[in-house]
Structure 1
Amino acid sequence: MKRILVTGALGQIGTELVAKLRETYGTMNVIATDIRACDANVIEKKGPFEVVDVTEEAGIYYVAAKYQVDTIIHLASLLSANAERNPRLAWNINMGGLINTLEVARELNLKFFTPSSIGAFGPSTPKNLTPQNTFQRPTTMYGLSKVAGELLCDYYFKRFGVDTRGLRFPGLISYIAPPGGGTTDYAVEIYYHAVKNKAYTSYIKEGTTLDMMYMPDAINAIITLMEENPEKLLHRNAYNVSAFSAAPEDFAAIIRKYIPTFKLDYQVDPTRQVIADSWPNAIDSSAAVNEWGFRVEYDLEKLTKDMLEKITGKLGME
């Protein structure tokens, strides 16, 4: 990668990814785009920023050609819980935006990355050590769009030779940008509430184990995958990746090592609980490890220490 266009750059992944890419490849070589203008001085004053609606192919093409990019990292999407509230909008954004950016990649001969998700699995998928290749019948619009997206990227690779790559991300945890309506958002919220209130009410019930990953590991995985020799990539558009699996009470137990009075209770959100119940407990990341050296630095304990320190500083509560 030498010059990179990022869609959805103001989202949870995009905010941190753009910063890391600019640090690695140069500020002016990473073009951040989103459907809304950047008003926080976070991205706009540190490099190129363009307003782009991914449902309009012409706008994506214009920006990609203007900056002569060689790679598109396509992050713009509607996440799981929000997608269930407005499934038609989710389809239009997730699938319409994807095929538009794939077309631009095909026309301009660009490398292409888009994330998939553990949401691509469903209730009939094996729950434990979920294989790389397995039965996928998701029961949500978000999951449906992710399976279709994996297949569409496979199609553009095989039919047109577009160098498409992707990761099935678990729940992603970050202190920098707020989550955007996903089922695993509680794993971010619990740390903020621990610092501010020493208590949290989880919308996911006790005992619901899900795969998770700290954002620095997710960012590193994207860059590592995109820099890998394409000949090594057998499962190029849908690698299982995860750092650890945890339930709400597991987060609480580690938080209490630092905040002994922290309290956790539950008020279950039926919509998000149904989604969570349809996902695996723990997935098998061995294909990513074997094919391109996937690894993580943060387990739950190391992540918790870092999250609490960073949020405390961010909120000025030191």
Structure 2
Amino acid sequence: MKNILVTGALGQIGSELVAKLRHMYGNDQIIATDVRNTGHEITRSGPFETLDVTDDKAMFEVAKRHRVDTVIHLAALLSATAEEKPLLAWNLNMGGLVNALEVARELGCQFFTPSSIGAFGPSTPKDHTPQDTIQRPTTMYGVNKVSGELLCDYYFHKYGLDTRGIRFPGLISYVTPPGGGTTDYAVEIYYEAVSQGRYVSFIDKGTYMDMMYMPDALDAVVQLMEADPAKLVHRNAFNITAMSVDPEAIAASIRKMMPSFALGYQVDPKRQAIAESWPNFIDASAAASEWGFQAKYDLDAMTQDMLSQLSSKEMLARKA
């Protein structure tokens, strides 16, 4: 990877991934793009282009001008937002993906796009969810993700395009606020623990989902992209996870550092239904065997770092 184009660069994953890639490969080699310019630091630390991924000609022009050899396509609507606006989700998520794949094909680029545990559905085995299993999601987001997995496989088999991808679990970060995902409660709970000492969860107790701390997710992207292609069997939809937790488990971990933390519930039926259609915990052995994936953070290690980082941000905000 020399010149890397990142779409959706101001999103939850993109903003942190761009920073990591610029640190690793050099600021000028990472071309960040997004549909808007919010003045975020990454718009100033290296090349940034305002780009609507549904505009195929504009995407090609940006990629060609910067002599891109790698495309990391992150631009998409997340699960809860996609369910509220399904046609927009289809047009953006699938239209943008096709455009990005075509740019990569025409320029001979390596290609990455994320999938999600949302690609599974109610008929998927809930426990130890296999790498290869039935996928019949009941959400537009899930339909987009399954379609994306198949489309990337098609481009690999049809055109020899070096496509790669990961099924992300819920991602937890102190850097970027939640952005419309079903697993966002697991981010909000830490923010509220620091600022309020309590949290009201929109996901019910006993609802287990796979989660991962953002540093592990970013490492996984880089590790997969740098992996020997000859060893990759699955390529576009590797299961990865670090932990399977419900709200009570996160609250118990928080109380080890904040004993007075209080957790309540006001369940959102729509997001609860989405969560219940996903696995309890997935099998990530294919990623481990094919490219050496291994998460570094467990629940308590993540909680300790999240609370420490967010407490520092809270103190800085008060001083400002």
Query: What range is the shorter-chain TM-score in?
Result: over 0.9
Output one character per residue of 1:12-64: Cα deviation in whole Å (capped at 9) or x when no partner: 00011000000000010000000001313x11221000001000111110110
Q: Which residue of 2 aligns with 1:176?
A: 175
Aligned 1:48-87 pairs, distance under 5 A: 48-87=47-86
Q: Which residue of 1 aligns with 2:158?
A: 159
2:19 is aligned with 1:27: no
Structure 2 counterpart of 1:38, which letter?
Answer: T
Q: Which residue of 2 aligns with 1:148?
A: 147
Q: Which residue of 1 aligns with 2:218?
A: 219
Q: Which residue of 2 aligns with 1:114?
A: 113
Identity in percent: 64
Output one character per residue of 1:218-277: Cα deviation in whole Å (capped at 9) or x when no partner: 000000000011111100000000000000000000100111110000000011000000
Q: Distance in 2 between matches of 1:111 and 1:168?
A: 18
2:131 is paired with a residue of what secondary structure? coil
Aligned 1:194-205 pairs, distance under 5 A: 194-205=193-204
Instruction: Show structure 2 runs of 5+ residues with no match.
Output: none
Q: Distance in 1 between matches of 2:184 and 2:212?
A: 12
Q: Which residue of 2 aligns with 1:251?
A: 250
Q: Distance in 1 between matches of 2:44 and 2:8?
A: 17
2:307 is paired with a residue of what secondary structure? helix
Q: Which residue of 1 aligns with 2:306?
A: 307
Aligned 1:222-301 pairs, distance under 5 A: 222-301=221-300
Q: What is the deviation of 1:104?
A: 0.3
Structure 2 counterpart of 1:308, which letter?
Answer: L
Q: Which residue of 1 aligns with 2:38?
A: 38
Q: Distance in 1 between matches of 2:313 and 2:35?
A: 27
Q: Which residue of 2 aligns with 1:193?
A: 192
Q: CA RMSD in A?
A: 0.8
2:220 is paired with a residue of what secondary structure? helix
Output one character per residue of 1:274-293: Cα deviation in whole Å (capped at 9) or x when no partner: 00000000000000000000
Output one character per residue of 1:171-207: Cα deviation in whole Å (capped at 9) or x when no partner: 0000101121000000000001000111000000010
Aligned 1:93-132 pairs, distance under 5 A: 93-132=92-131
Tell me the matched-pair count.
Answer: 317
Q: Distance in 1 between matches of 2:54 and 2:137?
A: 24
Q: Distance in 1 between matches of 2:83 and 2:137?
A: 12
Q: Distance in 1 between matches of 2:110 and 2:227?
A: 12
1:46 is paired with a residue of what secondary structure? coil
Q: Which residue of 1 aligns with 2:14?
A: 14
Output one character per residue of 1:292-313: Cα deviation in whole Å (capped at 9) or x when no partner: 0001110000000000000000
2:84 is aligned with 1:88: no
Which aligned segments of 4 or more residues in structure 1 are displaced greater than 4 angstroms? none
Q: Distance in 2 between matches of 1:294 and 1:252?
A: 27
Q: Distance in 1 between matches of 2:201 and 2:291?
A: 36
1:5 is paired with a residue of what secondary structure? strand
Q: What is the deviation of 1:6?
A: 0.2
Q: Which residue of 2 aligns with 1:2?
A: 2
Q: Distance in 2 between matches of 1:51 and 1:178?
A: 21
Q: Compute the TM-score of the two structures, normalised by the length of structure 2.
A: 0.98
Q: Distance in 2 between matches of 1:209 and 1:166?
A: 24
1:148 is paired with a residue of what secondary structure? helix
Structure 2 counterpart of 1:22, which letter?
Answer: R
Q: Compute the TM-score of the two structures, normalised by the length of structure 1.
A: 0.99
1:134 is paired with a residue of what secondary structure? coil
Structure 1 counterpart of 2:255, which letter?
Answer: R
Q: Distance in 1 between matches of 2:49 and 2:35?
A: 9
Instruction: Show structure 1 runs of 5+ residues with no match.
Output: none
Q: Which residue of 1 aligns with 2:132?
A: 133
Structure 2 counterpart of 1:36, which letter?
Answer: R
Structure 2 counterpart of 1:149, which letter?
Answer: G
